[in-house]
Amino acid sequence: MKQFLKCLALAGVASMLVVGCSDDAPTTPPVTTHDTTYVTFKANDKFTYNYYPHDVNDNRDNAGKLVKVWTVVSVNQAIGNRTGVALVQEMTFQSDGVTPVGAADTFDFHSGTDGKFSQFKLLQAVVKRIPGADVFLADVPEKWVQVGDTKTATAVNWDAIEDGPVTNTVTILGYPTVVTLGMTAYHKGKQSITVPNGTYANSYHTDHKVLINVESSGLNMHAKDTLSLSYDIAPTVGVVRQSLGSRTFSASSQQIPGFDMELVSITRAQ
Domain range for 17: 2-267
CA angle centred on 40, ends 233 and 153, rounded to 5° = 40
Q: What is the mean pLDDT of each run of 10 residues along the chain (270 residues)?
A: 40 36 44 71 97 94 97 96 97 97 95 97 91 82 96 97 93 90 97 97 97 91 92 97 93 88 94
State residue 221's pLDDT score.
86
State residue 78's pLDDT score.
97
Q: How many domains are there within the chain? A: 1
pTM for the full model?
0.85
State residue 146's pLDDT score.
98
In the chain the first and final C-alpha atoms are separated, in Å, by: 57
Residue 54: closest CA among 70, 45, 42, 65: 65
